Amino acid sequence: MSEIKKKIRSILPGGDWNPLYDTSYLPPESSDVVIVGGGVLGLSVAYWLKKLEKPRGAIRVLVVERDHTYSRASTVLSVGGIRQQFSVPENVQLSIFSIDFLRNINEYLAVADDPPLDIQFNPSGYLLLASEKGAAIMENNVKVQRQEGAKVCLMSPEQLRNKFPWINTEGVALASYGMEHEGWFDPWCLLQGLRRKVQSMGVLFCRGEVTRFVSSSNLMKTASGEEVNLKRIHEVHVKIDQSLEYQPVECAIVINAAGAWSGQVAELAGIGKGPPGTLQGTKLPVELRKRYVYLWHCPQGPGLETPFVIDPSGTYFRREGLGHNYLGGCSPTEEEEPDPGNLEVDHDFFQDRVWPPLAQRVPAFETLKVRSAWAGYYDYNTFDQNGVVGPHPLVINMYFATGFSGHGLQQAPAVGRAVAEMVLEGHFQTINLSSFLFSRFYSGEKVQEHNII
Amino acid sequence: MAAPKAVSDRISMSPQIEACSAVSAFRVSVNTQEARSKRQQKASPTKARDGIADTHPLGVGKDRTLQAQRLLSHPPQSLHLVAPVWNGGTRGISGLSRVVAPKGNQKKGRSLLQFLADRFYDVEALRDHLLRKRVSKVHQKNRPFNHINQRYGPYVAGAYFILKQGGAVRFQGREWSRPNQRGHFSLDFLKLQAVPVEAVDASGCAINYQGLDSLLALKELQSLWLQRCPHVDDWCLSRLHPLASSLQELSLAGCPRVSERGLACLHHLWNLRRLDISDLPAVSSPGLTRILVEEMLPSCEVLGADWAQDLKLGPEEQPRDTAGPTPA
């Protein structure tokens, strides 16, 4: 083609010639998929979209993340545990795939000429303790887990005392111990590995905040004759950090992976704007919840074999490093939920709610010294504390990948693949997550998990 | 992170170069006529090298190489804001160096490098292919021998697996069987279907997570040597717990991927009497790790790094500085 024609084409709208000022910091004007949120779930969806697309390079993906240092992202503030000890079979399957992904992470996320990733996985397992009341539930759960292929063994208090002499088994009727494929790892490394691989696959990143969705509505009739108002998002307005400037990005699909802020993003799309009790009026029930993590030092504490211990009271701790340091915390009850406006740590919470059960369970923890603490957000699903995956029934091109209430990190690789399959094929292919769709909030079918920390 | 930037730079540079070669508002290009005349000016001192250039099999490529190198080392003296002279033949990146007119270093190595750099994506695909072949070779070595397992039992299948990898096996009440230098081994252990395997020496073998399947079926294994295995890592160690009732001796010396996180899951092996964890490069503090492992396995003799090597000298034991008396 002659050069003159090329030049004219670049000047006309749609080309990227802009002689007046440099606009390379803006996101592109159009993108096939816009992923709101660049944490581990958003990047996992981007990775699997680029991996499963046919032909290669077919889909243009844009990841919008407003916090480029990830200072408030749940991913990096997480304790990093991964377990298969869930009671919902889909959760067990998600974790099993995710641990396979982590084991072969250098095959999945290899980038030419870059050093291999070391996620520093500690295969020490999870030890869940149950009181008399919870023993029957725990046995049921272990049966479900074993059916899915998890390697969990049940231990009596006697066996527990033999294996872990530092545990005080008073009040413990049964314990379930994950022998393999459970432990904790470095979430920052996973995030950076995903980010690096996803950039090498051609995904575009933008540092900005989604402020508006421009959508169009269609009044349609269902098979039974009801009238439904189906919405389709056409444009995403991405506001650039610390500026009033925004870029309207034309998109075909929007993926809501904004973590703890997913509820706000869903409201922008008009989800939940309607009379309560109807499908239009059902909000996305994902809220910010603040959780504290404390790091303490105890020289007489348990040794190298310490698993991730979860007490029946909800208190948990795990070993950190070789120097007798431990990380732990507790989930507050509904009444004492801290204000999620900031990430300040409440040290009295440790004194009142975390330390007493810890010291009762592990007598060596009576003498400990708190070294540091931090707070992070859970993308807490107030409905049933399990994830929301898949498209919204009314806003037909918004897909959710959020609401995992504390176990999003450990299920991220599998959830990313499920959402990518949903987007590319229209149905779940490998793991069937139909029970995690949005429509359960309207129909009231809770997918209740009995093992949440 | 310098490396990923380099890759993304390379990826992002190509469309820019292509854009340059196409149409752009302010363009700087070197008139090829002018470049050719400049080359002739410098012809005399480099006559000998020109001879090599002419007879080089990649004649045209050599020309382009010289042009590219010359432009890089000596920027053109006058820059023209001209319409590009399309000398027809710039096909993407590789043809671009013909547009610029350099002349320079004529070493043979440089031209090979330029040849490879022109075909960047092909070279990258080739490297990717070679890496994947290497990985699949390891997978192939660790495949399960299901037909042998069904026909002869788990002990014989495990022994065959180890011998095929180049390791050694000892059945109960017998001597060590090893493959010879060429990798051949006698198959007379096939009749030992009911005799358990007591000791396995898999030192230096390419055994990995999948390959441990065959080993874990050996329920009466007493001694396992995994010295210097390049693919044994923390995940593999977490798989060893089914051998807990019989395993008495384990050696992990020299495994490059085993770290203290994997050693933490050896506490399942309550029957272990001898553990060798010396010379593990991935362990961050070998002395401290040895102490912690000894505490974790009280009835086991742990061979490892000397715990004193991690200790630093106290202030009173510091070597005296011979520079002079401290200032008052």
A333-345 pLDDT, tens digit per residue, is 888 888 888 999 9
Q: Say if B104 falls within a structural domain.
A: no
Q: What is the pLDDT of residue A450?
A: 77
Q: What is the pLDDT of residue B192?
A: 86
Q: What is the pLDDT of residue A261?
A: 95
**Domain hosting residue A350, numbered range:** 124-180+291-376
**Domain co-membership, A176 together with A212:** no
- Domain boundary among the residues A322, A343, A376 is at A376
- Kindly list the residues of chain B whose beta carbon comes within 8 Å of any beta carbon in chain A: 1, 3-4, 6-8, 11, 22-25, 83-84, 86, 124, 127-128, 131, 135, 209, 234-235, 237-239, 241, 259-265, 267-268, 284-285, 288-289, 292-293, 295-296
A169-183, A210-224, B3-17, B185-199, range with the lowest pLDDT: B3-17
A81-90, A284-293, B174-183, range with the lowest pLDDT: B174-183
Contact A3 B234 (CB under 8 A): no
Q: Say if B109 falls within a structural domain.
A: no
Q: What is the pLDDT of residue B5?
A: 45
Q: Phi and psi (nearest 5°) for A96?
A: -65, -45
Return the closest-CA partner of residue A205 out of A63, A75, A25: A63
**Domain co-membership, A276 together with A296:** no
A2-11, A40-49, A262-271, range with the lowest pLDDT: A2-11
Q: Say if B230 falls within a structural domain.
A: yes
Contact B23 A303 (CB under 8 A): no
**Domain co-membership, A174 together with A229:** no
Which amino acid is located at B87 in the chain? N
Q: What is the pLDDT of residue A208?
A: 94
- Kindly list the residues of chain A whose beta carbon comes within 8 Å of any beta carbon in chain B: 3-4, 6-7, 10, 17, 19, 103, 107, 110-115, 120-125, 163, 179-181, 183, 196, 199-200, 202, 303-305, 319, 322
Span A18-47, average pLDDT: 90
CATH code for position B237 = 3.80.10.10
Which member of B128, B238, B264 has the closest CB to residue A180? B238
Q: How many domains does chain A have?
A: 2
Sheet holding B301-303, edge to edge: B176-177, B168-171, B197-201, B223-225, B249-251, B274-276, B301-303
Span A302-309, average pLDDT: 94
Nearest chain B alpha carbon to A20: B25
Query: Does A411 or B311 have the greater pLDDT score?
Result: A411
Which stretches within chain B are classed as H helix? 2-21, 32-41, 47-55, 59-73, 92-99, 108-118, 120-141, 146-152, 154-165, 212-216, 234-238, 260-263, 286-296
For chain B, how far is it from start to end, CA to CA, in angstroms?
Answer: 47
Look at residue A128 and tell me whether its pLDDT is greater than 80.
Answer: yes
Q: Say if B247 falls within a structural domain.
A: yes
CATH code for position A70 = 3.50.50.60
**pLDDT > 70: percent of chain A:** 98
Q: What is the pLDDT of residue A2?
A: 84
**Domain co-membership, A195 together with A246:** yes
Q: What is the pLDDT of residue B52?
A: 42
Q: How many domains does chain B have?
A: 1
CATH code for position A324 = 3.30.9.10
Mean pLDDT by 10 residues, chain B (328 residues): 43 43 41 49 45 44 56 53 53 51 58 90 90 92 92 92 93 91 87 90 93 92 94 94 94 94 93 93 90 93 78 61 49
Contact B235 A103 (CB under 8 A): yes
Span A127-138, average pLDDT: 92
Q: What is the pLDDT of residue A429?
A: 95
Return the closest-CA partner of residue A152 out of A141, A137, A163: A141
Average pLDDT, chain A: 92
Nearest chain B alpha carbon to A166: B296
Contacts of B209 in chain A (CB under 8 A): 103
Q: Say if A214 falls within a structural domain.
A: yes
Query: Does A21 or B53 have the greater pLDDT score?
Result: A21
Q: What is the pLDDT of residue B55?
A: 45
